[in-house]
Structure 1
Amino acid sequence: MKIKKITIWKENLALTRPYTIAYERIDSVENLFVLLEDDNGNVGIGAGSPAEGVTGESIMTCEKALNEQLEPVLKGQDVMYHRALLQKLNEAMTDTPAALAAADIALHDLLATTIGVPLVDILGRVHDRLQTSITIGIKSIEEMLMEAREYQEQGFTILKIKTGLDVEEDIERVMRLKEIFKTAMRIRVDANQGYTLSEYKRFFDATKDALEFVEQPLTALDLDGMRSLPEHMRRLSAADESLLSPKTALNCLFEPYPFGIFNIKLMKCGGIGPGLEIADMACHAGIDLMWGCMDESIVSIAGALHAAFASRATRFLDLDGSLDLAKDLVTGGFILDNGWLITTEQPGLGVKRI
């Protein structure tokens, strides 16, 4: 079960529905892929989607890190020693978490495929199915409502609305959604660091009866601003850009807690291993978990889903990152049933290359 072959490549994946967030417009995404093959012919695949504006890494730095580090660390090594191998990769690729995530996911997939069971059953299954939200970017009210109706027809019952450009328009958008959909749709908001402290208070007071929670309202480093808010606001606020790794999670665990929810993204923290470390920390602190994503291949979405189902702190999913890809390199990975995500019974991540 020794790793004999490592393949690394990148793909530009166009989106069927480009979107706008508080600081950029996105119409395609480059993903890196890692394929590991052992001496028995078993294969594991991983994928990484760098977010330079969040973690500081580019697709070029990630590709360079993978090409330089994977062969020396993994070639000829037994996949059963995956935790020791991941620790070595973590030490060598600290500055490129999306690259690390691609290697981490591939190694986990290879391990579970070799054993012949779904990955979550190795990690320790807690959940069988959870609902995911579906995201709507910043756009006009008419366009937003049209898109929301499309998602409702597809069976989704949780919307995540991107905000952060204009607080008054954001309030109007949320309240229009609530007026039209009432209890048929739960509404979450992702401000992507777009509010000042006073703007967030204004937004929260005006929309609190319509919202499930608000993701990353203030700038990533403004934990003092978050801690100045009353407990009921902090409890309904989720950390995204403020939460990058297990180390930065510690900064969010000094009382009073700035956030009541952690959004774990494998691309920020470096993969399934570090993600579950954050999950354990949150669980002990009584903080709820949402597992989120960038625009990603089914490969890494499936990796996040298996990790999410292995934590008892998991309450929310935002794993819609592969649904708007015009093409992908794999099929399978999970079952989507009226907004519910379910792992397959196939070994590993349950993905199949096209």
Structure 2
Amino acid sequence: MKIREINVWKENLELTRPYTIAFKTVSAVENVIVEIVAENGLTGIGAGNPSAEVVGEKLSDTMAALQPENLEWLLGRDLRSFQLLCEELALRLPRNPAARAALDIALHDLFAKYLEVPLVTFLGQRLDALPTSITIGIKSVAETLAEAEEYVGRGFTHLKVKVGETLEQDLERLIKLREAHGHNVTIRIDANQGWTTYDLANFCTQAQALDIELIEQPLPAPVVDDLRELPDAVKDLVAADESLLSPVDAFNLAQSPRACGIYNIKLMKCGGVYAGRQIGTVARQAGIDLMWGCNDESIVSITAALHAAFSCPNTKYIDLDGSLDLAKDVVSGGFILENGIMRPNGKPGLGVVRV
């Protein structure tokens, strides 16, 4: 079955709840949508959300990479050469991971529909369901507690708190949050590169009683060797995010002494499901756990990440809340979310429906 047509367009997806992280406030996000049409009319959909801060790719770069002249190589190709097509994406678009992700996800959706199975079934399902964390941005103590109360009321049991202003403020918010909810909630934190090595060591000393599940990207992305020198008990808590952009990064982070105990895989950093699963394989061989994260993204790419996550036996955490605060989306369906627990919906491909 051959590829007949590729359609690309932008969607501006506003957030119902703007948030602040260490380097910016986010109120809306533009996603690039890709639709691949087969000769029999079957379609696959993908989505890309570029990150200039993390991978140096702006929306204009993504759109430029997805111009028709750059996609001619895919037209007329046989979908049954699926693996080869996924490999070629990295060669054709080496500097545009969000563009690659959009095409990669559309190819995965289309191929799984061709097989008439959910994508996770084609990939080899290892997990059925996991609780996702939901994110609280950098806010005052009162705002943090109010938002946490709302999320707990909606059934979420895992909260990810953005930190990275001052250590004192970070600790105050987390202490109050733990006092308010006890151990009924799991707390993980994301410093978004906002700490120093001293801050990290100081935090781990002062926060022992808080039972923090993990610490995402505490140090600036290039500062990897400093992580290698930390005690294993600290490294086990550290999830590499901005330091982990590719399978090559995964290999380097795993070199002895390893730099962290967790890899946070985001499809928009690495270029899609194919590369994400390569990172997962490296991590499994190195004894490193997986966390699957996201940006503010359409249900399309969130669902793709969920399917990839559940095909990896070393997946331990998911942080796939990126579509929950969108005021609109291009699709519905994809996953089932009940009391904070996510699972695929069991329908062919990604299981999404255009709206």
**TM superposition score normalised by structure 1:** 0.99
Give the equivalent residue in structure 2 for 1:110.
110
Give the equivalent residue in structure 1 for 2:278.
277
Give the equivalent residue in structure 1 for 2:204.
204
Give the equivalent residue in structure 1 for 2:146.
146
Give the equivalent residue in structure 1 for 2:314.
313
Unaligned runs of 5+ in 1: none
Helix, strand or coil at the partner of 1:74 = coil
> 2:114 is aligned with what amino acid?
T
Please tell me the root mean square deviation across aligned C-alpha atoms, in Å: 0.9
Matches within 5 A, 1:129-168: 129-168=129-168
Helix, strand or coil at the partner of 2:326 = coil
Give the equivalent residue in structure 1 for 2:259.
258
Give the equivalent residue in structure 1 for 2:52.
52
Give the equivalent residue in structure 2 for 1:89.
89
> 1:8 is aligned with what amino acid?
V
> 1:6 is aligned with what amino acid?
I
Deviations 1:279-335 (A, max 9, x none): 001011110000000000000000000000000010000000000000001000000
Matches within 5 A, 1:57-76: 57-68=57-68, 71-76=71-76
Give the equivalent residue in structure 2 for 1:324.
325
Helix, strand or coil at the partner of 2:187 = strand
> 2:232 is aligned with what amino acid?
E
Give the equivalent residue in structure 2 for 1:238.
239
> 2:72 is aligned with what amino acid?
P
Shift of 1:256: 1.2
> 2:93 is aligned with what amino acid?
M
Shift of 1:83: 1.2
Distance 1:336 1:16 in 2: 18
CA contact 1:69–1:92 (8 Å) conserved in 2: no
Shift of 1:68: 4.9
Distance 1:142 1:240 in 2: 28
- Deviates further, 294-303 or 208-217: 208-217
Deviations 1:58-95 (A, max 9, x none): 00011111115653221011111111112222101111
Distance 2:107 2:307 in 1: 14
Structure 1 residue runs of 4 or more that deviate by more than 3 Å after TM superposition: none
Distance 2:84 2:204 in 1: 45
Matches within 5 A, 1:13-28: 13-28=13-28
Number of aligned residue pairs: give it.
354
> 1:344 is aligned with what amino acid?
N
Distance 2:14 2:160 in 1: 21
> 1:246 is aligned with what amino acid?
P
Unaligned runs of 5+ in 2: none
Helix, strand or coil at the partner of 1:164 = coil
The sequence identity of aligned pairs, in percent, is 51
CA contact 1:73–1:89 (8 Å) conserved in 2: no
Helix, strand or coil at the partner of 2:308 = helix
Helix, strand or coil at the partner of 1:73 = coil
> 2:128 is aligned with what amino acid?
D
CA contact 1:33–1:102 (8 Å) conserved in 2: yes
Distance 2:133 2:154 in 1: 12
CA contact 1:73–1:85 (8 Å) conserved in 2: no
